[in-house]
Amino acid sequence: MTLSMIREFFEVTKRLDEDPEIRAIVLTGAGERAFSAGGDLKSLLPAALEAGWDILNPDPTARFLSAVFTPVIAAVRGACVGAGFEIMLGTDIRIAGTDSSFALAEVKWGLIPGSGTNVRLPRQLPWAVAMELLLTGSTISADRAAQVGLINQAVEPENVLRTAMDIARRIASNGPVAVRTAKEIAVRSLSPGDAFALEHALNSRVLGSQDAREGVAAFQEMRTPQFTGR
């Protein structure tokens, strides 16, 4: 994901959400290797480090899909990491192939996943599981993701999109006002705006640290980072 792709994602999802003819959205990656391999550390993070604050989320209170009240189903194949993982957390129903894997590796490079994950993940998973993912950077399989409730179900890879589309059709056959209202109540009752703003402020602290610069440099140079805690 580049900065221009992220901005386009916000524009496209807003446009889809405002179209009354669209009853459900299915979100998937291009190809079979990955739902998304995350942010492009060679172009995306250097710009954020240079700015010294979270330029990826210009509105501190909004994140991926946080203002979209049309139901969104994720159809995941392959790697779902970093920014891809953060996008998935903004979806409502998640179908993944058994070949999928999930990770938030940012801490390994002196960063945090600052697009809502620190707020959303502990609300969506048991605390211990959320902290394991946030603090270790470990990768989990589709089977474990289903067991802990990160995804709804893991299916054979060739059935992922078909299963997601079947769910979308079931949603689309229901009363559109009722469906949209049900989601809007669920989203707004959680009131994530203030928590997103807190994440935005503290992520800027991380982006301004020496450790963040060292982590990105280490990634680009394919070496182990040497963190100093500054």
The pLDDT profile of the chain, 230 residues, written as one tens digit per residue, is: 888 898 899 999 999 999 999 999 999 999 889 999 888 777 777 777 777 667 778 788 999 999 999 999 999 999 999 999 999 999 999 999 999 999 999 999 999 999 999 999 999 999 999 999 999 999 999 999 999 999 999 999 999 999 999 999 999 999 999 999 999 999 999 878 889 999 988 998 898 899 998 998 898 898 999 999 99
Told to judge if 86 belongs to the known catalytic residues of this protein, a careful annotator would answer: yes
135: exposed, middle or buried (C-beta count within 10 Å: 0-12, 13-18, 19+)? exposed
83, 38 in Cβ contact below 8 A?
Answer: yes
Query: Residue 52: its pLDDT value, please?
Result: 66
CA distance 101 to 4: 25
Among 86, 199, 214, 221, the active-site one is 86
The model carries a pTM of 0.93
Q: Are 71 and 183 in contact (CB under 8 A)?
A: yes
Q: Do residues 143 and 93 touch, judged by C-beta distance below 8 A?
A: no
Return the half-sphere exposure (C-beta side, CA atoms, 13 A cut-off) of residue 33: 2
For residues 66 and 38, give the distance between their C-alpha atoms in angstroms, rounded to a whole number: 18
Among this protein's residues, is 50 annotated catalytic? no
Contact between 133 and 104 under an 8 Å Cβ cutoff? The reply is yes
* Residue 154 β-bridge partners: 96
The confidence score (pLDDT) of residue 53 equals 66
Residue of 106, 156, 158, 199 marked active site: 106
